[in-house]
Copies of this chain bind each other. A is one copy, B any other.
Amino acid sequence: MTKKAIILLSGGLDSTTVLVLAKKQGYRLFTLSFDYGQRHRVELECACRISKVFDAEEHREVKVDLKQFGGSALTDSIDVPTHRSVADMSHEIPVTYVPARNTLFLSYALAYAEVVGSEDLFLGVNALDYSGYPDCRPEYIEAFEKTANLGTKAGVEGRSRFTIHTPLIQMTKAQIIKQGMELGLDYGLTHSCYNPNEEGMACGVCDSCLLRKKGFQEAGFFDPLLYQVNS
């Protein structure tokens, strides 16, 4: 029987590439998205569409109550930074950091995995190109994996050995895009902007847009996404 994969799917470039990689490896896909009060809700619509396009067996959208804690530009009334150089981005943990986000998301993914009988969790984190987030580093992923295996019935009973797959963790944005293009992924399905307008159109100037554009440029491909600001 083919193995089941839980894909943490934001609808962005990275997690969608991860989904395509898992599909290529023959996994049955169970996608999980989070509605955490983010400003960029268009991501959730993308995640839903992508799940359908790639024949996920299930797509779950979990409401996560992070907004009441606050503390991040992605959920709070803090301004999302724009027009930064990519060099600047890697110097400090950005205000778009959401407290304990990946720990929380992985916990939900773990619960989901245990219930559907999956032992493979796929996460599109990246430690190279945008190293500001502490919960995107290999040592963090390793610690969570250990926690997962100690803290679950399936792990303790030896029925499952949970693995957190992070195939993009050491890749640059350009390498990720090349990988996806080789697998035939249409990046027009994906969306990564932190601050889209009401029609869901990407701003073109937030960190996420700038990294995406630079990635396409370096990879030598056209980005199929339309931006409000294209320079």
Residues of B within 8 A of A156 (CB): 93, 134
Q: Does A60 contact B (CB under 8 A)?
A: yes
Residues of B within 8 A of A98 (CB): 111
Please determine whether A150 and B157 come into contact, CB atoms closer than 8 angstroms. Answer: no
Q: Does A147 contact B (CB under 8 A)?
A: yes
Q: Does A192 contact B (CB under 8 A)?
A: no
Q: Does A2 contact B (CB under 8 A)?
A: no
Q: Does A216 contact B (CB under 8 A)?
A: no
Q: A99-141 vs B: 1/0 string, CB under 8 Å? A: 1111110011011101100000000000000000011010110
Q: Which residue of B lies closest to A138 (CB)?
A: B150
Residues of B within 8 A of A203 (CB): none
Jot down 20 A-B pairs with beta carbons below 8 A, ordered by A: A60-B69, A66-B111, A69-B115, A71-B111, A93-B156, A99-B110, A103-B110, A103-B111, A104-B104, A104-B107, A104-B108, A107-B107, A134-B150, A134-B151, A134-B155, A139-B150, A140-B150, A143-B147, A143-B150, A147-B147
